Structure 1
Amino acid sequence: MMSALKAHCQSIYQHVPANRLLALDVFRGMTITAMILVNNPGSWQYIYSPLAHAKWHGWTLTDLIFPFFIFIVGVSISLSGQRQKEQGLGHGHIIHHALLRMFKLLLLGCFLALFYYNFSAADYDWFTQRLMQMRFMGVLQRIALVYMACVLLWLFLSRLQLVICMLAILVAYWLAMAFIPYHDDLGNQYVGLLEYANNLSAWLDNYLFAKTHLYYSSAQPFAFDPEGVLSTLPAIASGLSGVLAGQWLSFSHHSMRHKAKWLAICGVVALLLGQMWAHWLPINKALWTSSYVLLTSGYAALILAGLMYVLDIKQWRLWAAPFVVFGANSIAFFMFAGVVGRLVIMVHIGEVSVKAWLYSHFYRPWLGDLNASLAYAVSFLILSYLVMFVMYRKHIFWKV
């Protein structure tokens, strides 16, 4: 059994180019794996606390996942962009490619928002209840917007200017949230609040979109979206932190050990600054506060540096092989999980969905509520891995 597993992992690394930064691929794979794990519990009523988001201020391990992915996007922009420049590709080509990728991500996000039909309701009207109430913002939509903004900033700003731009975004967002006044439909004016459904970001989402197009559509006094318009601005700063990390990693005259050491040092500094800033501006994922950006970017840099040491310097690699498979097709993995995750809710066995039936009849009787919910999510990952591994072996890499 162990020898077969070792052979399986070794076969995966046969397809990895020798000059590839393995740490980044594994980090991407670990991040998307964690994202799918927390998004597919057997029951949303039974989740271990680290696998749930913080209710409002504060953070859990789950709150690190999305900004980690944004950070990785930024690193990839620098590394892949540098290769494009070395191939002689100009700004026009790079921007054209980035625009295409942005629109593909936006379309995929819209597809997931619309991919649902309530087969159990005879009077369900997909056009009215789904299309006309489609959520405009979302995970893929935010990635698309951050990606495009970071590509443009990376192309036209120097390294120092990127640092200044990132810091300016964080400070400007903090000042905006603290000092720009807003009011509700009754004429009540507010300023500086960071409450659930009552803050500048929520007000702007509520002002721009009808309530039915927002994730928290019934929130009062303002419906809002956790991937809202204004909070996308500091998410760009998260992407820029990855861009800067990628630029540091692209320096050919530094050793891998030197790069990992200084990346870790920068990570510690960012982490400490984020914790200090949190005394005045709470860490909050839904608001994507500036302190949250520094905290999560700091942790991302530390993890990437640690993976570089383990995988690229010490060459301890076998354990990470499954994450290479997931990371190689991260968007395909996300889409597969999104489609299958909806299908098991849409399709019914008797009066309950396939998901609810599996949870209540197969997992819960012998594991209990919490463990059954986690076991369902792990089973979902195993199924996903089988599909992603087949794609990997057949060299099918879905690039958007």
Structure 2
Amino acid sequence: MLRQHVDRILALRPRGRLMSVDLLRGLAIAAMVLVNNPGSWSYVYPPLAHAGWHGWTPTDVVFPLFLFVVGFSLVLSNHQCARFPPVGWPQWSRALKLFGLGLFLAVFSYNFRDSSYSWLEDQIERIRWLGVLQRIALVYLITCYLMRYCSERALLTVSVLLLAVPWALMLFAPYQDSAGQVFHGRLEFGNNFSAWLDQLLLGADHVYYRSAEPFAFDPEGILTTLPAIVSCLLGVFAARQWCRAGDSDGEQRALCRWWLVAGIVLFAAGQLAHPWVPVNKALWSPSFVCLSGGVSLVLLAAFYYVADVQRRRRALAPLLVFGVNAIALYMLAGMVGRLLIMIPVGDSSLKGWLFDSVYLPLFGGPVGSLAFALTCVLVFYWVMWQMYRRRIIWKV
């Protein structure tokens, strides 16, 4: 039965698409769903949680992996190697839709247990302006403009500047708190130039970490969006290498080796730089861009070699179901996850009741929390499969 299901996935695969890229996108979005939906945040295995501050876990490289795939896909969607078209309404429309969907998720919450709760005051007046989808929208649109107006050499120069300038501001730009105390060069939680800028421009009520001190900030904040563009551009560079490669088996294998070596070098550079330039996802530090970009390139090399060179696709095929409808899955998971918390059951929520009554007694804390997340992935897979088998692809 499983074999028949996999065969059907492959038979229904959209034509004219590079399979390894859809698989990589599917891996990224499935990982996002898995880490965002534990049964309880009190029981999360370390690899499935973000690093406390400096450092990294596998979870930290998932978002930059998705941005890497966005960059790769931009090249593929533009007839592979042709000059990027003028940036107009199609690109702006997509960016605005993504940004709007992010804002929708930001306000998709209601406290049914509190009779005095004001949704307008809590969600609208204190809306979080930035987030994952909003960052994707901004990175996507800026990358479109860079691809249109910059040569490849210019893109390399821009990438260096996008890494160096924000980091230089982090290290050398002075800033002060409400009491007049001046800081510079701090790289602490709630005390760094990026956090100060977020509080100044977005406001303390409109960011994710509202209670951080001395400055409230957003992990998808303003300044850190600039180096995130480089994560996307790494995908652009990788895709252009694919465009230049020939169709022979030898050239395809050489391309895989190039990606693999480049990925290992980038990963090593990011890791070795950590004592001086800390690997930090919230700051999207240059070392984090190198390390996560290295992981993305290594995964691309592996997926491309297996799926597109060797054509051994069966084991990876289920990721296609996620990969061709990534934004639809992200929205579904975000809404369902919030609904499970919103719906009251006794003194708890539906999610709390399910975990405490079913998963915790059966599996215990950590395993039960992971089992809950895996259940969510399976349920969402079924929904995405219904769309996939009907050839419904939700294009934003």
TM-score by length of 1: 0.96
For 1:54-133, what aligned pairs fall within 5 Å after superposition?
54-83=51-80, 85=82, 91-92=85-86, 94-133=87-126
Which of 65-74 and 311-320 deviates more? 311-320
Residue 369 of structure 1 pairs with residue 365 of structure 2: yes
Q: 1:338-374 CA distances to partner (integer Å, 9 max, x unpaired)?
A: 0111111111222211100100011111100111111
CA contact (8 A) 1:363 1:375 kept: yes
**2:15 and 2:328 mapped to 1: Cα distance?**
24
Counterpart residue number, 2:192 = 199
CA contact (8 A) 1:22 1:312 kept: yes
Q: CA deviation at 1:235?
A: 0.3
Matched residue count: 393
For 1:6-25, what aligned pairs fall within 5 Å after superposition?
6-17=3-14, 19-25=16-22
CA contact (8 A) 2:246 2:252 kept: no
Counterpart residue number, 1:142 = 135
**1:149 and 1:266 mapped to 2: Cα distance?**
25
Counterpart residue number, 2:151 = 158
Structure 1 residue identity aligned to 2:255: K
**1:18 and 1:340 mapped to 2: Cα distance?**
31
Unaligned residue ranges in structure 1 (runs of 5+): none
Structure-2 change in CA distance of 1:117 and 1:213 (3 Å): same
Q: CA deviation at 1:246?
A: 1.2
Q: CA deviation at 1:84?
A: 9.2
Q: CA deviation at 1:398?
A: 0.5
After the TM superposition, which segments of 4 or more aligned residues of structure 1 sit over 6 Å from their partners? none
For 1:286-325, what aligned pairs fall within 5 Å after superposition?
286-325=282-321
Q: 1:183 aligns with which of 139, 162, 176?
A: 176
**2:79 and 2:312 mapped to 1: Cα distance?**
27
Structure 2 residue identity aligned to 1:367: F
Q: 1:31 aligns with which of 21, 28, 32?
A: 28
CA contact (8 A) 2:54 2:280 kept: yes
Q: CA deviation at 1:186?
A: 0.9
Which of 254-263 and 105-114 deviates more? 254-263
**1:299 and 1:243 mapped to 2: Cα distance?**
15
Residue 47 of structure 1 pairs with residue 44 of structure 2: yes
Structure 2 residue identity aligned to 1:389: W
Structure 2 residue identity aligned to 1:183: Q
Q: CA deviation at 1:98?
A: 1.1
**2:266 and 2:32 mapped to 1: Cα distance?**
23
Q: CA deviation at 1:175?
A: 1.4
Counterpart residue number, 1:389 = 385
For 1:253-264, what aligned pairs fall within 5 Å after superposition?
253=246, 255-264=251-260
Q: 2:329 aligns with which of 333, 352, 356?
A: 333
> What is the alpha-carbon root mean square deviation over aligned residues?
1.4
TM-score by length of 2: 0.96
Residue 274 of structure 1 pairs with residue 270 of structure 2: yes
Partner SS state of residue 221, structure 1? coil
**1:137 and 1:183 mapped to 2: Cα distance?**
23
CA contact (8 A) 1:182 1:190 kept: yes
Structure-2 change in CA distance of 1:8 and 1:215 (3 Å): same
Counterpart residue number, 1:167 = 160
**1:193 and 1:276 mapped to 2: Cα distance?**
21
Q: 1:310-352 CA distances to partner (integer Å, 9 max, x unpaired)?
A: 1111121111111000001000000000011111111122221
Counterpart residue number, 1:239 = 232
Structure 1 residue identity aligned to 2:254: H
Counterpart residue number, 1:226 = 219
CA contact (8 A) 1:95 1:152 kept: no
Structure 1 residue identity aligned to 2:88: I
Which of 150-159 and 263-272 deviates more? 263-272
Q: 1:86-131 CA distances to partner (integer Å, 9 max, x unpaired)?
A: 8xxx733x43211110000000000000111111111111001111
CA contact (8 A) 2:207 2:216 kept: yes
CA contact (8 A) 2:81 2:243 kept: no
Residue 360 of structure 1 pairs with residue 361 of structure 2: no
Q: CA deviation at 1:18?
A: 5.4
Q: CA deviation at 1:17?
A: 4.5
Q: CA deviation at 1:82?
A: 3.2
